Amino acid sequence: MADYVVEFGRDGGRVESDGRLDAPAFHRNHEPLWAVLEKHLAGSAGDAVEVGSGTGQHVVYFARHTPDLVWWPSDLNQRHVKSIEAWRVHSGLQNIRTPLRIDLSDPDWCPEMNSGQGPKSLAAVFCANVIHIAPWAVAEGLFAGAGRYLRPDGKLFLYGPFKRDGKHTTLSNAVFDTSLRDGNPDWGVRDLSDVEKLARGVGLNLIEATDMPANNLTLVFGR
C-alpha cells in the first residue's frame, strides 16, 4: 500500500461534519476532465470504476453527467473512504455504489468482479494523480487489471503529470519530481513512453493525450 504525499483532511482543507473532504484540485480540473471523458462516455451504459478516488468529488461529478453508468469509487485510505461515502450520500445519486477498497499493486485488484458482488465488465476505469505518488508496481497493477476488466470498447483514463521522451514538460514538473523522489525514491513523475509500454503489454493503446491545467495530461487508452 502506498502512502499519500498529502492526505486529504490533514492538509488544512475543509472537513464537513459528515466527513466530506474538499480537494482544491477538484475545482480546477473537474470541468476539463469531463470535457475529455464526455467524448467517450456520454450516453454509455454499464459499470465504471474510479481507482484512488480521494475525496470522492470527481465520481459525484462524473456520475451526475452519466446517468446510465454505475460508478464504483475506491480508495485504500480510510479517511478518504469515509469522505467518498459521505459525498455519495450527500449527492443523492443512485448510480454511485459504496466505495471499494482497491490495492492497485495487486494485478487482480477488483476481486468483487470475480465474486459477482461488484461491477461487471467495465466501460471505464478512471485514475487521477496516483501513479506518481506510488511505487511503479502500482502502475503495473493498474494496467494489468484494466487489461483484464475492461470490456472490448472500454477505456482507461489516466490523469497526472508525465515526462515525454525522458524530459519534463515544464520546470515546475521537474521540481515536483525531485521533491517526490527525495521523499520516496520509488515515486516520481512517469515517462509517457514507459506508461505506453505497460499499456501495450496488456492489449491497450494510447488513443488520446490532452493537455490539462497545472501542466498535467489526461491519457485515454483503449483496445
pLDDT at 7: 54
Beta bridge partners of 159: 128, 218
Asked if the structure places residue 4 within a domain, the reply is no
Q: Are 21 and 83 in contact (CB under 8 A)?
A: yes
| pLDDT tens readout for residues 162-190 | 999 899 999 999 999 999 999 999 999 99
Q: What tens digit of pLDDT does each residue of 20-72 get?
A: 999 988 999 999 999 999 999 988 999 999 999 999 999 999 999 999 999 99
pLDDT at 112: 79
Q: In this model, does residue 87 exceed pLDDT 90?
A: yes
Could you tell me which of 39, 58, 46, 74 has the C-alpha nearest to residue 145?
74
Tally the domains of the chain: 1
* Mean pLDDT (whole number) for 207-222: 95
Is the pLDDT score of 134 beyond 90?
Answer: yes
Question: Which residue range(s) make up the domain with 191?
Answer: 24-222
The DSSP call for residue 3 is P
DSSP letter, residue 129: S
- What's the CATH code of the domain at 171? 3.40.50.150
> Which region, left, alpha or beta, applies to residue 160 given φ > 0 means left and ψ of -120 to 50 means alpha?
left
State percent of the chain over pLDDT 70: 93
Statement: residue 116 has pLDDT above 80: no
The residue with greater pLDDT, 115 or 89, is: 89
